[in-house]
Chains A and B, each alone.
Chain A
Amino acid sequence: MCLGIPGKIETIHSASEYERSGKVSFGGISKEVNLSLVPEAGVGDYVIVHVGIAISTIRKEEASKVFKLLKTLG
């Protein structure tokens, strides 16, 4: 139940402060996700979603660092 999975924001709409939400695609399957806690995230960004709520925006530059490390090992 504690899984957080990455998904891509497709749409965003806002009602009240804690009701910013949108469609997030998880490898083709779209789900309604609350986006209130990632105010910096926009359409096209990837977020980590946990129990229906986005908790963090994935930082693209950092995501590739693991693979840079790998190259130095290779």
Chain B
Amino acid sequence: MKYLQEYRNGDCIRTVAAELEKTSSRPWTLMEICGGQTHAIAKYGLQQLLPPGIQLVHGPGCPVCVTPQEIIDGAITIAAMPDVIFCSYGDMLRVPGSVSDLLQVKAGGGDIRIIYSPLQALHLAEQNPNKQVVFLAIGFETTATANALTLSLAKQKSLHNFSALISQFLVAPAIRSICARKDCQIQGFLAAGHVCAITGYEQYHQLAENYHIPIVITGFEPLDIIEGVLRCIRQLEGGHYRVENQYQRAVTQAGNRTAQSLLKTVFKISAQHWRGIGEIPTSGLILKEEYASFDAARRFNLPTSNRADNRGCLSGEILLGLKKPCDCPHFAQKCHPQQPLGAPMVSSEGACAAYYHYRDQVSVNGSALPNSPNR
């Protein structure tokens, strides 16, 4: 398919890899922010194509991984109520709450619908006026935009039986908080292309400047990622720290203004708790007062306690790039996708699950790079 297959061409990828080999003179550690990129890196064995000194560590950009346990517990409470249709992306069903998960609620008869778009939840609310339809609205700026669109339509249509349980995250404050850590080992970032398609990247210039760190806005196909790495390494080798846009076909500096104004209409910035990491100031998006009637936490009177995250899972260190999944003693032992101990093992964009699914590529060398695999 156009704009997809050509970015998966093995020869092109190897050409860039060879250039990287020539360019890099010493070890460098880069972090890719987005779980979609983590998934592609594991799937295509990209780490093995890089010169041995270049390490890719995986960032916090997997919404399934960072959604706090109290949101999962709230979702479980609501989904088990009678006369509720609870809508969620499939990945969220197996994320462990403090005692159970949504999958168990579904097995016990809870009306949980797996959706791929929040607009489906809206249609369900229109079709079922006698039910309360609740949507688990998780995600970063990209998904939050879809949530904002859905909520503004719900308001336009005065859908009183529709609400959203909200857990939304902003990328730039997370990058800042990673850079500000004393133990930060990251020397360059591959920023999340689709988040930047919405937000643009004006705000990244200050980050690159303050922390003397190159930031390359990067796409999701293997050729995009390896080119993002090359651009980052060229800067590091040259002693530069600029913002560059590898993903020019989809991202402009200004971003999507229509989406930005929609986000501002529906949401406001707040502090946000990240599972495994803790609270990061100004890193979340919550409903504005005008939209508060669509807040499921309010409508269903959910308690607002921050429960501790769980059971020996290293997700915080994994999501901050301090450890890799294989460093966790539970990896592929007590923790696997059928029985995840922590959220990064659930979604295919979680670093632990990506390593688990592609553990052959991750441990074997990358010479078997496929030319045009399908996702």
Contacts and interface: CB of A to CB of B under 8 A. Distances in A.
9 contacts: A2-B62, A4-B36, A18-B156, A51-B118, A52-B116, A53-B149, A55-B145, A58-B249, A62-B249
Given A3-B220, A59-B248, A67-B6, A37 B117 contact: no
A5 B40 CA distance: 13
Given A37-B262, A55-B197, A58-B250, A26 B1 contact: yes
Interface string B197-240: 11000000000000000000000100110010000000000000
B117 A51 contact: yes
B248 A65 contact: yes
B313 interface: no
A27 B1 contact: yes
Given A37-B145, A46-B2, A69 B227 contact: yes
B152 A3 contact: no
Contacts of A50: 142-143, 146, 194
Given A18-B152, A46-B2, A55-B198, A4 B142 contact: yes
Interface in A31-60: 34, 36-39, 46, 48, 50-53, 55-56, 58-60
B50 interface: no
Given A6-B3, A55-B142, A59-B249, 5 more contacts: A1-B143, A2-B62, A2-B143, A4-B142, A53-B149
Interface in B239-261: 246, 248-251, 256, 258-259
Contact of A56 (B4, B118, B250, B262): B250
B249 A55 contact: no
Contact of A73 (B19, B139, B250): B19
Interface residues of B, number: 55
* Overall SS of chain A's interface: mixed
A72 B63 CA distance: 38
A8 interface: yes
Contacts of B248: 59, 62, 65
B180 interface: no
B256 A37 contact: yes
Contacts of B259: 37, 55
A51 B87 CA distance: 13
The 7 closest A-B pairs by CB, nearest first: A52-B117, A27-B1, A62-B248, A63-B249, A56-B197, A6-B3, A62-B249
A59 B116 CA distance: 26
Contacts of B1: 6, 26-27
B356 interface: no
Interface string A4-38: 11101000000010110000001100000010111
Contacts of B249: 58-60, 62-63, 65
Contacts of B89: 1
B323 to A, nearest CB: 22
B140 interface: yes
A2 B142 contact: yes
Nearest to B11: A70
A20 to B, nearest CB: 11
A37 B142 CA distance: 12
Nearest to A73: B19
A5 B4 contact: yes
Given A46-B3, A70-B12, A4 B146 contact: no
